[in-house]
Structure 1
Amino acid sequence: MIKKIICVVSVYFHFLGIYKQMYLTSLVNNKQKLLNQLNAPIFITWFQCAVTAFLCYLTSYLALLLPSHVKFPQLNFSFKTSIEILPLSIIFVSMVCFNNLCLKYLSVSFYFLARSLTTIFNVIFTYFLLNTKTSTKALICCAVIIVGYCAGVIVEGNLGSLSWIGLVFGIASSITCALNSIYTAKCLPKVEGSVWRLTFYNNLNSLFLSIPIIGLLEYQPIKEHLFHTSAYFWFIMVISGIFGFAIGYISTLQIQVTSPLTHNVSGTAKAAAQTVLAVIIYHEIKSISWWLSNIVVLGGSAVYAAVRHVENEQKSKGSMNFNRNDNYFLRSLDNDGSQTTH
């Protein structure tokens, strides 16, 4: 049993390591595109959704042609299911757009701190949407995260590299990220628990939701620059779309097999690695106070995760004990009834 647990944990962290590498590569690619050739982050999001939806459909078709080699669920489109997934798709489009807009105005290294309020909003939405209260210990951890966040903003401002509009997009990204994990868990039963079906419907909906936003906000830059971009630009766009496909699947799978909370916690661990690698890749020099603010946020998030994990285990044990007592009470009634009959 112990060997099995060790094996599962090892595979999980190997899986998470791949996830981190894919995410950082996608992030750096997006930053490169936004800065160099096309100032249209929502169009980039739309293209990534198109690649993901196409890859889902292509793999489903290959599964029909080669059933012994390719295992993939059939993607028979249902308008009813598409409407049921629509709330998640609206949140998803908002989240990815805010992510790209935040990335446009802020450095990759500050991107983690700018979006570190996800845990705070997760607590807020858990209370208002799921009527679940948070313990005092967990709220103290949230206060630590907020202190680290404020300190990081002040330090970044003193360095002269802070964009307030980028910070606003970071907060909006945190809000939609917290909502996305909650609604992903809610929508999975609507597609029979299939991660691939949810990925397909979510990205297909997102394609149509993004079009009016692109027409309203990005028509001019697309008209001026789209047909003057290089072949390398489109190559990076396709690669980024493939990474988006892989990341979307892994994120949804993680929420399915664990929980929205676990997904957000692993996101914090991913973001810590992302911050360090971004500083190395872009050859940035950061002050001790800058690193300390990041450590405070990461530490607060880690302790919060530990507190919630202990609380969830205690709830599980409590419910198991309650069921045992309930069964014992029912057995006692049955025994009393049988004795009376005799």
Structure 2
Amino acid sequence: MKNHQSDLCASYIKIFIVVSCYWIVSIATVFVNKTLLSSASVNLEAPLFITWFQCIVSFMICFTLSKTGGIPGVFDFPKGTPWCKETIKQVIPLSIMFTLMIATNNLCLKYVGVPFYYIGRSLTTVFNVVFSWILLRQATSHKCVLCCAFIIFGFYLGVDQENLLGSFSLIGTIYGVIGSLMLSLYSIYTKKILPIVNQEVWLLSYYNNAYSIILFLPLMVINGELTQIWNYDNFNSIFFWIQMVIGGICGFAIGYVTSLQIKVTSPLTHNISGTAKACAQTVIATQWYNETKNGLWWTSNIIVLASSALYARFKQVEMEENSRRPIPEEKKSIV
């Protein structure tokens, strides 16, 4: 009995540490990126270049881990190379979505405040429902659809209140909506591509970052960032490059702690943890930036957070019910 209780206690401590790491890394990543993208100390009007550099840092970490086989006693990094012709052909469509997703997310963060960032990107769940029906022909229950309706209402209310408070950014919100759309598409197509890389999430991350380094180059040219980079005065600043490297490490770390949290808990717990983290992030951001919000603004956040959590719960219940249904004889494998 004592051994069982000690094992249970150790398990709870492990879960607490992992969830805490996820919260710390995720919130820190948002604040670090906001500093890089918008602060006067950095003052570089090249958000895609900053994102591109973060992909380079993540790629170099993945490349090193692929050569060493991972971190002994922590995790094993799967073997694979992104420069195989067949792999490029199969994975590059997903990498395009990945590139657009992280680009629009950072562009959204550049133009909107951290307190509004979660609301600006809150339509991912809605797009998941829409694309699951259009692309996969998967129906969604009325309860989940109702949750999506409340998310849309919360998003609208948040935009309205942000506008009344004078801090609304139309271009930032548009980037947020596009980022939500791309995240939804990326999530759906990831399920299709994972079997190609033997269900190895780390290998897929390695490939995505490798291809994104190339895909970002024309985007930086189109966005007119070459002139900004050429005329930038702080390239010889050690502090600037320390900030850039920290941003890249945070970008890699958030992928690791996200996967680790899902592994030691469950996808539903991860969603609930992410929702609670977003709530804490919003509160911390309003205090950090000394921003005062009215009651309706906070109401919009509560509506979106509660609706997202309920949606995750309803989907879990549906999945459990489907797993308990007997499979018809004609659909069973002869094996």
Task: Check whether the contact 1:195–1:249 (CA below 8 A) recurs between aligned residues.
Answer: no
Which amino acid counterpart does residue 287 of structure 2 have in structure 1? Answer: I
Task: Check whether the contact 1:95–1:176 (CA below 8 A) recurs between aligned residues.
Answer: yes
State which of 23, 26, 30 in structure 1 corresponds to 2:29.
26
Unaligned segments of structure 2, at least 5 residues: 331-335
State the match for 1:288 in structure 2. Answer: 295
Task: Check whether the contact 1:73–1:196 (CA below 8 A) recurs between aligned residues.
Answer: yes
Confirm whether residue 75 of structure 1 aligns to residue 80 of structure 2: yes
State the match for 1:333 in structure 2. Answer: none
Range with greater deviation from structure 2 (127-136 or 19-28)? 19-28
Task: Check whether the contact 2:234–2:240 (CA below 8 A) recurs between aligned residues.
Answer: no
State the match for 2:48 in structure 1. Answer: 42
Which amino acid counterpart does residue 74 of structure 1 have in structure 2? Answer: K
* Separation in 1, partners of 2:193, 2:262: 11
Instruction: Give the secondary-structure state (helix, strand or coil) at the position aligned to 1:74.
Output: coil
Q: 1:67 to 1:13 in 2, by over 3 A?
A: closer
Which amino acid counterpart does residue 181 of structure 2 have in structure 1? Answer: I
The structure with the larger Rg is 1
5 Å-filtered alignment, 1:214-293, equals: 214-217=220-223, 218-225=225-232, 228=235, 230-251=237-258, 266-293=273-300
Which amino acid counterpart does residue 72 of structure 1 have in structure 2? Answer: F
Task: Check whether the contact 1:102–1:166 (CA below 8 A) recurs between aligned residues.
Answer: yes
Confirm whether residue 141 of structure 1 aligns to residue 141 of structure 2: no
Unaligned segments of structure 1, at least 5 residues: 328-342
The offset of 1:280, in angstroms, is 2.2
TM-score in terms of structure 2 length: 0.86
The offset of 1:68, in angstroms, is 8.8
* Separation in 1, partners of 2:16, 2:320: 21
The Cα offsets for residues 19-42 of structure 1, whole Å up to 9 and x where unpaired, read as 221122121111112223211111
Paired residues, what number? 322
The Cα offsets for residues 237-275 of structure 1, whole Å up to 9 and x where unpaired, read as 101101111112344566789998876555433322221
* Separation in 2, partners of 1:239, 1:92: 21
* Separation in 2, partners of 1:125, 1:258: 27
Which amino acid counterpart does residue 21 of structure 1 have in structure 2? Answer: I
Instruction: Give the secondary-structure state (helix, strand or coil) at the position aligned to 2:90.
Output: helix
Which amino acid counterpart does residue 18 of structure 1 have in structure 2? Answer: C
State which of 181, 185, 201 in structure 2 corresponds to 1:179.
185
Give the structure with the higher percent helix. 1
Task: Check whether the contact 1:90–1:209 (CA below 8 A) recurs between aligned residues.
Answer: yes
* Separation in 2, partners of 1:212, 1:15: 38
State the match for 2:108 in structure 1. Answer: 102
Task: Check whether the contact 2:15–2:265 (CA below 8 A) recurs between aligned residues.
Answer: no
Q: 1:161 to 1:29 in 2, by over 3 A?
A: same
Range with greater deviation from structure 2 (76-85 or 148-157)? 76-85
Q: 1:229 to 1:27 in 2, by over 3 A?
A: farther
Q: 1:206 to 1:255 in 2, by over 3 A?
A: farther
Which amino acid counterpart does residue 47 of structure 1 have in structure 2? Answer: F
Task: Check whether the contact 1:38–1:226 (CA below 8 A) recurs between aligned residues.
Answer: no
Which amino acid counterpart does residue 279 of structure 2 have in structure 1? Answer: A
Range with greater deviation from structure 2 (20-29 or 222-231)? 222-231
Instruction: Give the secondary-structure state (helix, strand or coil) at the position aligned to 1:133.
Output: coil
Confirm whether residue 86 of structure 1 aligns to residue 85 of structure 2: no
Instruction: Give the secondary-structure state (helix, strand or coil) at the position aligned to 1:225.
Output: coil
The Cα offsets for residues 94-148 of structure 1, whole Å up to 9 and x where unpaired, read as 1111111111111001000111111100111111111101111111111111111
Instruction: Give the secondary-structure state (helix, strand or coil) at the position aligned to 1:15.
Output: helix
Range with greater deviation from structure 2 (3-12 or 43-52)? 3-12
* Separation in 2, partners of 1:93, 1:264: 23
State the match for 1:169 in structure 2. Answer: 175
The offset of 1:12, in angstroms, is 4.4
State the match for 2:333 in structure 1. Answer: none
State which of 165, 184, 190 in structure 1 corresponds to 2:196.
190
Which amino acid counterpart does residue 42 of structure 1 have in structure 2? Answer: L
* Separation in 2, partners of 1:317, 1:7: 31
